[in-house]
Amino acid sequence: MNNGAGRRINGGAEEDEDEDDVNGDLDAWERTYTDERSWESLQEDESGMLRPIDNQALYHSQYRQRLRSLSSTAARIQKGLIRYLYIVIDLSRAASEMDFRPSRIAVIAKHVETFIREFFYQNPLSQVGIVTIKDGVAHCLTDIGGSPESHINALMKKLECSGDSSLQNALDLVDGYLNQIPSYGHREVLILYSALSTCDPGDIMDTIQKCRKSKIRCSVIGLAAEMFICKHLCQETGGTYSVALDESHFKELILEHAPPPPAIAEFAVANLIKMGFPQRAAEGSISICSCHKEAKVGAGYTCPRCKARACELPTECCVCGLTLVSSPHLARSYHHLFPIAPFDEVTSSHLNNPNCKLQRNCFGCQQSLLDPGNKPGPAIVCPKCKRYFCLDCDIYIHESLHNCPGCDSLRHS
């Protein structure tokens, strides 16, 4: 008993020594500030004084800069609205590294779930599939489809990491699947790569050229360091390559792939696509599901051509191959063709002009545009209807609503 107690005491002493080594000779109050890193939330103003950073204004200025850069070329770019995207996730032993907290694969799984939901929200006519790389072999985790829940549930059950990574095997597998996609579909691959090497059975340069001939746009997000082969792959296929610095940067990089990318010029061909608008079956109806090959009770969708049942939309009829969509899906895809123009910032000279009648409330949320002291705060104005909006409504209108409330009110009045 005494020996056991002595071992426990010694073990506790060793743990205390480890903590002292980590924290050094800092006092408790110093460790608090070290953990919070509060000095990073300060910035120097024009007079040399330290002021807290206005994160909201900083985020809005970065957002408006990105919006202007996108809108400057939006009128001259053709985008693919029907996308077929495979997400390739590296599950080699490198994905279990803990430089991202709690681990790389935990961060990947968390933000892939967010990305899949955002992808289907912005691309309701598109479909996604998931491929994993483990032990040098590529596995198709989920077939390409339009159900976000099925992809997310399948991914969360297969997060074990082991072995090496093989970029060539993944590209060969994805190329075989995407070659079956109709010509009007835009073929894309998004690779989330954690390893610093690739263990391939053959010449990966031939595989890259095969992907290029198949019109597959490959993009890579690295979690370790830049690799030449990944950069070469993206350059050859017209994709983008970037390396995440931290978790927030990784989230920003992966969400950049949710909006439709520009179509490759040599492959941008206009096509007429035959689609069907199925009717929703009654709640108590019993029918055989064509996608699950079993009898199901409840609401489904009936193909207008062959009368087969489908569980969800959008999808392709398993019997006749007709693309099945609903009218809200087309409506939600419309804003990518005609995006709303960015609003103009109201200058400080215009706000301080006594002869100018400034609207006191945001036209969207009706919140006051005046700061404490009845001084005009930051505001945005629509160049068409001349209605004033706050910063939050500006982001909401361009990111989610895709219509100006001021212009719509004038149109319906």
Instruction: Give me the residues paired with residue 343 across strands.
Output: none
Burial of 74 (0-12, 13-18, 19+ CB in 10 A): middle
Q: Which stretch of DSSP H or E encloses residue 74? A: helix 55-74
d(CA 108, CA 104): 6
What is each CA distance from 101 to 32, 104, 347, in whole angstroms? 20, 7, 42
Who contacts 254 (Cβ-Cβ below 8 Å, separation ≥6)?
A: 111, 112, 114, 115, 190, 192, 221
Strand order in the sheet with 388-389: 344-345, 380-381, 388-389
| pLDDT by position in tens, the chain (length 413) | 444 444 444 444 444 444 444 445 566 555 555 555 555 666 666 667 766 655 566 566 666 666 665 554 444 566 777 899 999 999 999 999 999 988 999 999 999 999 999 999 888 889 999 999 999 999 999 998 888 999 999 999 999 999 999 999 999 999 999 998 888 888 999 999 999 999 999 999 999 999 999 999 999 999 999 999 999 999 999 999 999 999 999 999 999 999 888 776 555 566 778 889 998 877 777 777 777 777 777 778 889 999 888 888 888 888 898 888 888 888 777 777 777 888 888 876 666 666 666 677 899 999 888 776 666 777 889 989 989 998 889 888 887 888 899 998 887 76
Lookup: tokens for 242: 């970037």
d(CA 18, CA 29): 19
List the one residue out of 81, 21, 58 whose CA is nearest residue 314. 81
DSSP 140-187: EEEEEES-HHHHHHHHHT-----S---HHHHHHHHHHHHTTS-TTSEE
Q: Which residue type is seen at 5?
A: A
d(CA 86, CA 89): 10
Lookup: tokens for 293: 């090959």
Beta strand extents in 349-413 (DSSP E only): 370-371, 375-376, 380-381, 388-389
Who contacts 113 (Cβ-Cβ below 8 Å, separation ≥6)?
A: 152, 155, 156
d(CA 234, CA 191): 10
Helix (H, G, I), strand (E, B) or coil at 277: coil
Cβ–Cβ < 8 Å for 117, 151: no
d(CA 375, CA 369): 9
Lookup: tokens for 379: 């505001």
CA angle (148, 154, 156) in 5-degree steps: 100
- As a three-state string, the secondary structure of 324-362 is ECCHHHHHHHHCCCCCCCCCEECCHHHHCCCCCCCCCEC
Q: For the chain, list the domains and their CATH numbers.
A: 78-257 (3.40.50.410), 279-337 (no CATH), 344-410 (3.30.40.10)
Cβ–Cβ < 8 Å for 303, 310: yes
Cβ–Cβ < 8 Å for 228, 249: no
What is each CA distance from 75 to 141, 338, 340, 341, 348, in whole angstroms? 38, 8, 11, 10, 30
